[in-house]
Amino acid sequence: MDPLIQQTAANMQKVLDLLKHDIATIRTGRAAPSLVENIVINAYDGSAKLKIIELATVAALDSQTLVITPFDHSTIHDIEKGIQEANIGVSPVVDSTLIRISLPPLSTERRQELIHLMKQKLENGRILLRQARQEAMNEIKKDDDWSEDEVRRLEKEVQATVDKFMLQVDSLGKQKEEELLQI
């Protein structure tokens, strides 16, 4: 496989990984640690900016409740404040050494809003994939060492790579939409 195709595929994989991470933060009807674990907290009186996952363990107690157990109990109120400031539509409740987050059930209207948000994020991912394709195509056209047949072959390989990643984006979207529509 040509190094240019390998580099393009690696760039597209990074886009897909970023998109998967971004889509995971969209709330479904179930409690999932990914909802809160990447929220940045001003810990230790603002001297350190850390993600919740670096400050505590996050677990789903049941399908509607998340439990956050800080490693250092002095950060419990910093975590609570950070979650409130993140404005993700949940209210943390401090319960001595841990924080409970109860997720209210999603209304049909809210589910549709989340599906719309997810589709916007998927479209942004597709745009990034198209940009990676365009960069590869420009690189192919810029190099004068290749024959016309070689250029066409490389362009077809780049397009096949893009098509493969677009299918993965579409399946990711369908899977998340099914999760959002589950009651």
Taking the model in full, what pTM does it have?
0.70
Q: Where are the beta strands (DSSP E) in 29-77?
A: 40-43, 48-51, 56-62, 65-70
Q: What is the mean pLDDT of residues 91-112?
A: 87
For residue 145, the SS3 value is: coil
Rounded CA separation 19/123 (Å)? 10
| Residues contacting residue 171 through CB under 8 Å, at least 6 positions apart | none
Report whether pLDDT(88) > 70.
yes
- pLDDT tens-digit readout, 18-31: 999 888 877 776 78
Given a cut of 90, whether residue 127 has pLDDT beyond it is: yes
Domains and CATH numbers, the chain: 3-24+107-181 (1.10.132.20), 33-102 (3.30.1360.40)
